[in-house]
Chains A and B, each alone.
Chain A
Amino acid sequence: MMDRETDILIIGAGVVGCALARVLSRFETRVLVIDRADDVSEGASKANSGIVHAGFDAKPGTDKARLNVLGARRYPALCKELGVPYKQIGALVVAFREEDRPVLEQLKAQGEANGVPRLRIVEHDELMQMEPQLNPSAVAALEAPTSGIVSPYELVFALADHAAINGVEFQFGTEAQTIVREDTGYRVETSRGVIRAHSVVNCAGVDSGRLHSQVSPRPCRIIPRRGEYYVLDHPAEAPFSRTIFQCPTKMGKGVLVSPTVHGNVLLGPTAMDIEDGLDTATTAGGLAECLQKSALTWPKVSTRTAVTNFAGIRAHEEHGDFLVGEAAPLFYEAAGFESPGLTSAPALAEELGRDMAEDLNLRQKETWLPAPEHEKPFNEMNDAERTEAIAGNPLHGQLICRCEVVTEAEIRAAIRRPVGARTVDGVKRRCRAGMGRCQGGFCAPRVVEILAEELGVPMTEIRKGSGASDMLVGEI
């Protein structure tokens, strides 16, 4: 395999890596992003709660607290600019026992110290009016109106696309194995050859501890912490209008019940420390716990309308803070980005990008292209808009996924994006085909066919996701 050279090598195409790549794409420098998986957002960035946290959870004075609050502030404008679904629906942290009331007070004080606006304690009666489906044993809650929800992987796709049209390169299926300091920078041995880079950014999620230890004497231990979730079909009437948290424990924020930006209901996550950072299998015990804990928030919870379950792995740094900055000369990192990593990523990218530009004497580009225009999803259009869309591109008249109302034009567009879909899952996450109640039962064969056409390969070469995840084994 051919060796490659770049100025800045970003290891990890999750939300942190892609947000940073986008910031660095403003400057005159070569940026290459690599990822072990075959798409962006394949790690924790695709499998999390999709919450833009207000910022009351982290201890004041920590990087977590600072980046969380800054990040949350940046979300509305960023998502608007990139055309990513985001809704500031607010959140409640509910105490179900009188003993938990001090926890609410403590979170409120912490949030205020961190600069979170408009926090207040809501008492039982008002709480039940705000959220009538809530377990009536709720005593009180902390309300955080600035909490929001986002489609996390759609954010990463948009960040990556924006970076790509401004010159950032992506190389997938490329795992960083060893990193060696050389006179002029770093030599990174990967599963696909050697990459030489002047500087390296380690945002490799659960793998970041391993990479860190190769260049820095400072110990860094990243513990994979698995969380399991259920996704329920979009109900006619949302059970909750806000994200509902329970009181946090030492393992995290606990199990939440929340609407998603696409109108589904999300239950989870559990929290279990595991050995293997890639083990995203769900477990009978984890799913049962997820359901049981959700029932404390939502007594009527049922998996009757479940469309899927999944598990994500957070990269938990053993001391619980983010590791941010220059770990070794010209070796930057953003590691331990467990919650609120998604929220913090935009702020982290701005800060780290600015610092790197200064360190590396980067010059701003004269022209930086704005984010690609994003077409409104067909599912969200009214009749007049749909008529117009079909007139503009007749393939909008061909529905492929009925559950989520996705057209052939949208599937082809997902594949043709700057960092386009290459797999069935890539299509699913970019335009929601196969995301609904039939889980691709009807549309998967058609999606495979369209992918094959667009990519110019036989249908038997189409994969579900990364690696050898072939959909088909051959012809009959």
Chain B
Amino acid sequence: MENIIRKQLVIIGGGPAGLAAGIAAREAGVEDLVILEREHEAGGILRQCIHNGFGLHRYGEELTGPEYAARDIARAQELGLDIRCDTTVLSVDGDRRVTCVSRAEGLQIFEAGAVILAMGCRERPRGALGTPGTRCAGIYTAGAAQKFVNLEGLMPGRRCVILGSGDIGLIMARRMTLQGAKVLACVELMPYSSGLNRNIVQCLQDYDIPLYLSHTVIDIQGRERLEGVTVAQVDERRRPIPGTEIEFDCDTLLLSVGLIPENELSLRAGVALSPATAGAVVDDALQTSVPGVFACGNVLHVHDLVDFVSDESFRAGRAAAAFLRGEHPQGETVAVLDGEGVRGVVPQRVHPGQDLTLMFRPAGVYKNASVVVEADGVEIARKRALVFTPGEMVALDLPAAKWANVHGDLTVRMEAK
């Protein structure tokens, strides 16, 4: 009584990545595809991102998250895409069998010609930080708090400290303030913020919320509900410096301490992951180590802007369509390696001599610096900027003409002036 269904293409995740991948695949001629979404509606995390700032690159205008998602959903509906909500994928295997469950359909197994992984990412919780103290109520990841406030209309607290300066934390600093809460501080372990500069300005500075760089939370107090946290400065090796403690009297601690691609399904499918991105190792077609399995969006590597997620996912959709037509990229590949100061270049394997965009994060802050791409020890591309920071992903275009005759591996490195 197994419920097995053949599909050309199964896309796991109906957020911005899955929607864009589905749209592009259909536009490239894939008729028989399904998007599996665990939430009640498509749109992914954008549904709770009611602030604006989405779509500047793609549309040249500032949209809210739901508005941005609505455009993709409308296009998907226009194309008649089959989006199954309230459907959770339990496993994917190396033969592209996708097992999922839903109330309506029970357990289903899709046998897919191609699979696109578009599961997004999750937030690092407190447990992963090892912050000592009590385990009281009032400690939330910024995204969970955002869901309570924006989707449920409920306030998680009144006096907040925010640990980490990731974008969601910064956005929530403003959101909680606008909702009448007092945000006492945003505390960042590193000497620089991991969020976008525009969010530092618009979400902290505009509301006089102090940002404590090179600080962290070293203790959490409160037996039932949170009563306070202790913050201390850290040294170059990120160890708390005795004597620098500051006590904050707060009922809420929001964590914005990193996003982790949700690759548990991918791992079980045998997809090789990159330790640098925690996402799949992919080639220039965004194909993973498992043939016919592609990855895009935040499950591949955590992006700053949804516009780039969409862009990457359109490419994944087209690549999956090409794969289904039997068009496999031909020829040898070379590796793209992380050089000095570079963390997690995507893609990691490429077919030489084509137009390519390399994306990565610098390992630290570089001022007046360059990104250099080398092949066989020879520079083939360079990009200069006033500042490179880990909070902003670097995209470097490599036109085909620049590396038509390359045979060896590429190395991407930072070069300080």
Is B335 in contact with chain A by the CB < 8 A criterion?
Answer: no
Instruction: Mark A155-195 against chain B: 1 for CB-CB distance below 8 A, else 0.
Output: 00000000000000000000000000000000000000000
* Closest CB pairs A-B (n = 9): A308-B127, A439-B125, A464-B137, A399-B88, A467-B224, A397-B103, A469-B137, A469-B224, A394-B103
For residue A444, CB closer than 8 A to chain B, the reply is yes
| 14 A-B pairs (CB sep. < 8 Å) | A230-B130, A280-B134, A281-B133, A282-B133, A284-B132, A307-B127, A308-B127, A391-B106, A397-B106, A397-B107, A399-B90, A467-B224, A472-B148, A476-B153
Across the interface, name the chain B residue whose C-beta is closest to A398. Answer: B103
Pair B224/A465 contact, Cβ less than 8 Å: yes
- B138 to chain A: closest CB distance in Å? 8
Further contacts, 4 of them, CB under 8 A, given A449-B152, A474-B154: A230-B130, A460-B154, A470-B137, A473-B156
Give CA–CA (A469, B139) in the complex, Å: 11
Which of the residues A280, A307, A398, A442 comes within 8 Å of B128, measured between beta carbons? A307
Digitize A281-317: 1 where CB-to-B-CB distance is under 8 Å, 0 elsewhere. Answer: 1111011000000000000000100111110000000
A307 to B127, CA, bound (A): 5
**Residues on B with beta carbons closer than 8 Å to the beta carbon of A439:** 125-127
Evaluate contact between B147 and A397: CB separation under 8 angstroms: no
Q: Are A472 and B155 in contact (CB under 8 A)?
A: yes
Q: Which residues of A contact B153 (CB under 8 A)?
A: 475-476
**A6 near B: Cβ within 8 Å?**
no
Assess whether A399 is in contact with B107, with CB atoms less than 8 Å apart: no
User: A309 CA to B90 CA in the complex, in Å?
Assistant: 27
B179 and A476 contacting across the interface, CB-CB below 8 Å: yes
Q: Which of A209-258 contact B (CB under 8 A)?
A: 230-231, 236
Task: Name the CB-closest residue of A to B158.
Answer: A473
Residue B104 contacts which of A397, A437, A475 (CB distance < 8 angstroms)? A397
**Range class of the A interface residue count:** 35 or more
Is there contact, CB below 8 Å, between A383 and B107? yes
Task: Judge whether A468 is part of the interface by a CB distance below 8 angstroms.
Answer: yes
CA distance A438 to B90 in the complex (A): 16
Q: Looking across the interface, which residue of chain A has its beta carbon closest to that of B135?
A: A310
Question: How far does the alpha carbon of A439 sit from the alpha carbon of B219 in the complex, in Å?
Answer: 19
User: What residues on B are CB-neighbors of A463 within 8 Å?
Assistant: 137
Picked from B106, B123, B135, the residue with its CB within 8 Å of the CB of A441 is B123
Residue of B nearest to A308 (CB): B127
State in angstroms the CA–CA spacing of A319 and B3 once bound together.
Answer: 63
Give residues 92-120 of B contacting A (CB, 8 Å): 99, 101-107, 109
Contact in complex: A387, B127 (CB < 8 Å):
no
- Do residues B107 and A386 form an inter-chain contact, with CB atoms below 8 A? yes
Question: How distant is the Cα of A58 from the Cα of B179 in the complex, in angstroms?
Answer: 58
How many of chain B's residues have a CB under 8 angstroms from any CB in A? 56
Known: A307-B127, A390-B103, A473-B158. A464 touches B136 (CB 8 A): yes
A394-B103, A475-B154 as given contacts; A383 in contact with B130, CB under 8 Å: no
Is B47 interfacial (CB 8 A cutoff)? no
Q: Report yes or no: A286 in contact with B132, Cβ–Cβ below 8 A.
A: yes
Query: What CA separation (Å) do A281 and B156 show in the bound complex?
Result: 22
B residues near A449, Cβ cutoff 8 Å: 152
Which applies to chain A's interface (DSSP): helix, strand, loop or mixed?
mixed
Shortest Cβ distance from B216 into chain A, in angstroms? 11
Interface contact A440-B144, CB-CB below 8 Å: yes
Q: Does B74 contact A (CB under 8 A)?
A: no
Measured CA separation A437–B259 after assembly (Å): 12
Flag whether A362 is at the interface (Cβ < 8 A): no
Cα of A403 to Cα of B262 in the assembled complex, Å: 10
| Residue B86 interfacial (CB < 8 Å) | yes
Inter-chain contact A309/B127, CB cutoff 8 Å = yes
| Highest count of chain B CB atoms <10 Å: which of A283, A307, A383, A390 | A383
User: With the chains together, A310 CA to B221 CA distance in Å?
Assistant: 14
Contacts of A459 in B (CB 8 A): 152, 154
Q: Give Cα A465 to B225, complex, Å.
A: 9
Smallest CB-CB separation from A38: which chain B residue? B224
Residues of B within 8 A of A466 (CB): 224
Question: Using Cβ atoms and an 8 Å threshold, which residues of chain B touch A475?
Answer: 153-155
B305 within 8 A of A: no
A464 partner residues in chain B, CB cutoff 8 A: 136-137
**Complex alpha-carbon distance, A402 and B88, angstroms:** 8
Task: Tell which of B1, B134, B137, B144 touches A281, judged by Cβ atoms closer than 8 Å.
Answer: B134
Partner of B99, one of A307, A383, A396: A383
Specify which chain B residues have a CB less than 8 angstroms from the CB of A121 in the assembled complex.
Answer: none
Contact assessment for A399 and B38 in the assembled complex, using a CB-CB cutoff below 8 Å = yes
Interchain CB contact under 8 A, A470 and B103 = no
**Is B374 an interface residue, CB under 8 A from the partner?**
no
CB-CB contacts of A388-407 with B at 8 A, as 1s and 0s?
00110011111100110100
Chain A minimum-CB-distance residue to B102: A397
Decide yes or no: A438 and B123 within 8 Å by CB, A460-B154, A473-B251 being known contacts: yes
Q: Are A441 and B99 in contact (CB under 8 A)?
A: no
B218 interfacial by beta-carbon distance below 8 Å: yes
- Whether A287 lies near B130 (C-beta < 8 A) is yes
* A48 CB to nearest B CB, Å: 15
Q: Which of A395, A397, A402, A471 contacts B105 (CB 8 A)?
A: A397
Residue A445 CB within 8 A of the other chain: yes
| A474 x B106 contact (CB < 8 A) | no
B163-212 residues at the A interface, CB under 8 angstroms: 179
The reply to whether A470 and B154 form a contact with Cβ atoms under 8 Å apart is no
Contact A438 B122 (CB under 8 A): yes
Give Cα A442 to B240, complex, Å: 31
- Kindly report which residue of chain B lies nearest to residue A305, judged by CB atoms: B128
Given A236, A395, A440, which contacts B103 in the complex, CB threshold below 8 Å? A395
Given contacts A402-B38, A464-B136, contact A473 B157 (CB under 8 A): yes
Contact B101 A386 (CB under 8 A): yes
Are B101 and A287 in contact (CB-based, < 8 A)?
Answer: no
Q: Does B287 contact A (CB under 8 A)?
A: no
A445 touching B155, Cβ below 8 Å: no
* A387-B107, A391-B106, A445-B147 known; A473 vs B99 contact (CB < 8 Å): no
Decide: A438 and B125 in contact? CB cutoff 8 A. yes
| A300 CB to nearest B CB, Å | 15
Tell whether B16 is near chain A: CB-to-CB under 8 Å. Answer: no
- Is B411 in the interface zone, CB < 8 Å from A? no
Chain A residues whose CB sits within 8 angstroms of the CB of B141 once the complex forms: 438, 441
User: Is B103 a contact of A465 with CB atoms below 8 Å?
Assistant: no
Q: Does B267 contact A (CB under 8 A)?
A: yes
A residues in contact with B381, CB < 8 Å: none
Q: Which residues of A contact B58 (CB under 8 A)?
A: none
Q: A278 contacts the other chain (Cβ, under 8 Å)?
A: yes
A440 to B122, CA, bound (A): 11
What is the CB-to-nearest-CB distance from B103 to chain A, in angstroms, rounded to a whole number? 4
Residues on A with beta carbons closer than 8 Å to the beta carbon of B128: 306-307, 437
B104 to chain A, nearest CB (A): 7
Q: Which of B157, B220, B223 has the most C-beta atoms of chain A within 10 angstroms of its own C-beta? A: B223
For the complex formed, measure the closest distance between the CB of B2 and the CB atoms of chain A, giving whole angstroms.
Answer: 7
Which residues of chain A have C-beta atoms less than 8 A from B158's C-beta?
473
Q: Is B390 an interface residue (CB 8 A)?
A: no
- Asked if B149 is at the interface (CB within 8 A of a chain A CB), the reply is yes
